[in-house]
Amino acid sequence: MTWKTLLLGATASLAFAQVAQAERGSDGEVRVIYYQAPSILNPYLSAGTKDEEASSLILEPLIRFNPAGEMVPWLVTEIPTLENGGVAEDMKSITYKLKPDLKWSDGTPVTAEDVVFTYEYCTAPGGGCAQASIYEGIDKVEAVDASTVRILFTEPKPVPYVAFAGAQGPILQKQQFADCLGEKAPTCTQQNFNPIGTGPFKVDEFRPNDVITLSANPNYRDPAKPAFAKMTLKGGGDAASAARSVLETGEFDYAWNTQLAPEVLDEMLKGGKGRMVFAFGSLVERLEINLTDASPSLPADERGTVKHPHPILTDIKVRQALSMAIDRALLAEVGYGDAGKPTCNLVPAPAAYADDTNTGCLTQDIEGAKALLEEAGWTVGAGGVREKDGKKLSLLFQTSTNAVRQDFQSIIKEWWNEIGVQTELKNVDGSVFFGSDPGSPDTFPKFWADVEMYANNFNGADPEAYLAERICSKIPSPQTQWQGQNVGRFCVPEYDDLAVQLGQTGDLEKRGEIARKMNDMLTRDSMTILPLVYRGTLSAASNTLGGVDINAWDSQLWNVADWYREK
């Protein structure tokens, strides 16, 4: 017997085992813990990950992304493309066909009108829809017939799969939400807490910020699923106690986002009750370098604006030296264990967009960094700190308050110290740092510091919008109320041109080429963004819970219909 037949046999028996248990509700209850408790079950009123994921048990989009970042037709029969005629030749419309006989959990049919309504709901003025950005650029959504819906775009859209996709874009029931448009959205507590959906579960009781009890949707499209009759989603506490309740006490089956120090997790795994599951999406922890002068001696409306280039960091040699001094593999290991990989890319995945050749930053080179600084004219002065023209090479390095980030800060400070760069560390509470109060001096877009560290990712599996955040016009300034994500104040006309090109290119191979080029311009070529760690999502699952397929491109609970109890 060869390996291949062995594996085939194993797969077959696995499939058989699943078939043998395939009866809806035969496996009793599944218990899930989210240490951040869900507040609302309508993802259009909260973009918080916890709320989006809890909603994904009930509400479903037209297309989902699988753990590899590929599109999966979810409520539709197939992914529309130019080839199959689903996408119009002029790329200005896309047509979805709903799966036949789709039903809401209350037994009424799902129609194209519901999809149209969902669009109206999120774009109604005064509603403050959290997902408004995925419905941008749409001229009209129309129901062609009961099961066909067409989206018309204002401009040609080469990648039209943003609306109604992933955990951000589920379909709402028109009948239920009809009176909740616009300013009335927040008054619909009953609807927001008990949405009627097409997903494998339906809400029995929702207690905001505490617990959700759900039961199997009797009208779910696969009569054999879900295997669990009941689900409890408890919220509250912290990541450590959530992990403990799965790995050590066995009270829960699945704990979301148990991002803990690797040695703490190893200790908990000795409990023998569960395992860690992880997946990688597009989240990258990075250093951003400020190309403008944020010195407090400047007037407030000029501080940190392009009017004053940074006196030290505009020299690419200094930026390069800062990058070379960092041992990314060590940082990934110390901070994230299995759920972190060193990276030099801002777009680390999906494979079509990631530049595999951009690996130069992975090896630490302290001596090389020193030589570069010498070359740039920074010589070692008093106390080992480099100086040039009487000016010290001293930087302010800020990030949000978080144990791993503070560890990273002090390790990086140590390395920079070795090459003669003096570093002052600062950490700001996350609610301020990631807040957008234009009056606060401490937000990450205002960036009144020299270097800052945070993590970001993109929705769906296409980086177009993410890379477009780095064009010149997205530089935060007093004119934009300090909003915008081009926090490093990077501005190269060639990059802006590429961003426009990417927005007009439909061919996947070409898109990959452009995206990789843009990624390299930001990282390897200009050293304005220094990616550090490609971060995965880490959750804990009980050994008795089968079918878990953690996903970083969509809701972690995307395939909860396939979960079952190992016998």
Partner 1 sequence: MFHYTIRRLLIAIPTLLIISLIIFLLLDLAPGDPMAQMPLTVPPEVKERMRQALGLDQPLLVRYFLWIKQFFWIEPLNVLDSLFGWNLVGDAQRIISWQTRSPVADIIAQRLPQTLWVVGLAYVIGVLIALPIGIISAYRQYSWFDQIGTFVSMIGFSVPTFFTGVVLIILFSVKLQWFPSIYDTTLVVDDWDSLMKQIRQMVLPVMVLALFNASQISRFMRASMLDNLRQDYVRTARAKGLSEKVVVLVHVLRNSMIPVITVIALGVPTIFGGAIITEQVFKVNGIGQLLISAIQANDVPMVQTLTFIFAVLIVLFNLIADVLYGILDPRIRYD
Q: Which is nearer to partner 1, 81 or 456 (CB)?
A: 456
State in angstroms the smallest separation of the CB of 442 from partner 1: 7
Q: Which is nearer to partner 1, 50 or 386 (CB)?
A: 50
236 binds partner 1 (CB under 8 A): yes
77 binds partner 1 (CB under 8 A): no
Q: Which is nearer to partner 1, 423 or 519 (CB)?
A: 519
Q: What contacts 483, CB < 8 A, 6 or more positions away?
A: 436, 438, 445, 476
Q: Which is nearer to partner 1, 42 or 219 (CB)?
A: 42
Burial 511-542 (b: 16+ CB within 10 A, else e): bbbbbbbbbbbbbbebbbbbbbbbbbbbbbbb
Q: Which of 77, 249, 473, 479 binds partner 1 (CB under 8 A)?
A: 249
304 binds partner 1 (CB under 8 A): no
472 binds partner 1 (CB under 8 A): no
Cα 351 to Cα 83, 289, 356: the distances in Å are 22, 27, 9
The interface region with partner 1, picked from 169-177, 179-187, 220-228, 351-359 by CB under 8 A, is 179-187
137 binds partner 1 (CB under 8 A): no
Tokens of 297: 């001696």
State in angstroms the smallest separation of the CB of 159 from partner 1: 16
Tokens of 146: 């009961």
Of the CA atoms within 13 Å of residue 390, those in its CB half-sphere come to 0
Rounded distance between C-alpha atoms, residue 410 and residue 185, angstroms: 46
Q: Which is nearer to partner 1, 192 or 219 (CB)?
A: 192
Torsion angle of C-alpha atoms 49, 52, 55, 59, degrees rounded to 10 = -150
Interactions with partner 1, residue window 13-42 (CB under 8 A): 33, 37, 39-40, 42
Interactions with partner 1, residue window 345-364 (CB under 8 A): none
435 binds partner 1 (CB under 8 A): yes
127 binds partner 1 (CB under 8 A): yes
406 binds partner 1 (CB under 8 A): no
Q: What is the DSSP string of 395-414?
A: EEEEEES-HHHHHHHHHHHH
537 binds partner 1 (CB under 8 A): no
Q: Which is nearer to partner 1, 193 or 295 (CB)?
A: 193
Q: Which is nearer to partner 1, 208 or 478 (CB)?
A: 208
Q: Which of 73, 152, 193, 306 binds partner 1 (CB under 8 A)?
A: 193
State in angstroms the smallest separation of the CB of 491 from partner 1: 18
Rounded distance between C-alpha atoms, residue 273 and residue 113, angstroms: 46
The interface region with partner 1, picked from 7-15, 329-337, 423-431, 520-528 by CB under 8 A, is 423-431
Q: Which of 192, 358, 399, 409 binds partner 1 (CB under 8 A)?
A: 192
431 binds partner 1 (CB under 8 A): yes
Residue type, 247: L
Angle between helices 262-269 and 239-247 (to 10 degrees): 20
State in angstroms the smallest separation of the CB of 126 from partner 1: 6
Q: What is the DSSP string of 66-102?
A: -TTS-EEESSBSS---TTTTSB-TTSSEEEEEBPTT-
The secondary structure of residue 32, as a DSSP letter, is E
State in angstroms the smallest separation of the CB of 39 from partner 1: 4
Rounded distance between C-alpha atoms, residue 546 and residue 191, angstroms: 32
Rounded distance between C-alpha atoms, residue 513 and residue 272, angstroms: 46
Residues in contact with partner 1, counted by CB under 8 A, come to a total of: 68
3-state class of 455 per DSSP? Answer: strand
What number of H helices and E strands is found in the chain? 15, 21
Burial 13-34 (b: 16+ CB within 10 A, else e): eeeeeeeeeeebeebeebbbbb
Residue type, 146: A
Q: Which of 24, 30, 43, 46 binds partner 1 (CB under 8 A)?
A: 46
Q: Which is nearer to partner 1, 249 or 479 (CB)?
A: 249
Interactions with partner 1, residue window 477-496 (CB under 8 A): 481, 483-485
126 binds partner 1 (CB under 8 A): yes
Q: Which is nearer to partner 1, 209 or 410 (CB)?
A: 209
Q: Which of 70, 434, 507, 508 binds partner 1 (CB under 8 A)?
A: 434
Longest Cα pair distance anywhere in the chain, in angstroms?
77
Q: Which is nearer to partner 1, 193 or 317 (CB)?
A: 193
Q: Which is nearer to partner 1, 43 or 200 (CB)?
A: 43
Rounded distance between C-alpha atoms, residue 504 and residue 509, angstroms: 13
Rounded distance between C-alpha atoms, residue 214 and residue 57, angstroms: 9
Pick from 344, 347, 309: nearest CA to 468 = 347
Q: Which of 155, 205, 375, 507 binds partner 1 (CB under 8 A)?
A: 205
Q: Which of 13, 78, 207, 403 binds partner 1 (CB under 8 A)?
A: 207
Rounded distance between C-alpha atoms, residue 482 and residue 436, angstroms: 8
Rounded distance between C-alpha atoms, residue 476 and residue 316, angstroms: 22
**Residues in the site for partner 1, rule: CB under 8 A?**
33, 37, 39-40, 42, 45-49, 126-133, 183, 185-187, 189, 192-193, 205, 207-211, 213, 232, 234-238, 241, 244-245, 248-249, 251-252, 271, 429-437, 440, 442, 445, 454, 456-459, 466, 481, 483-485
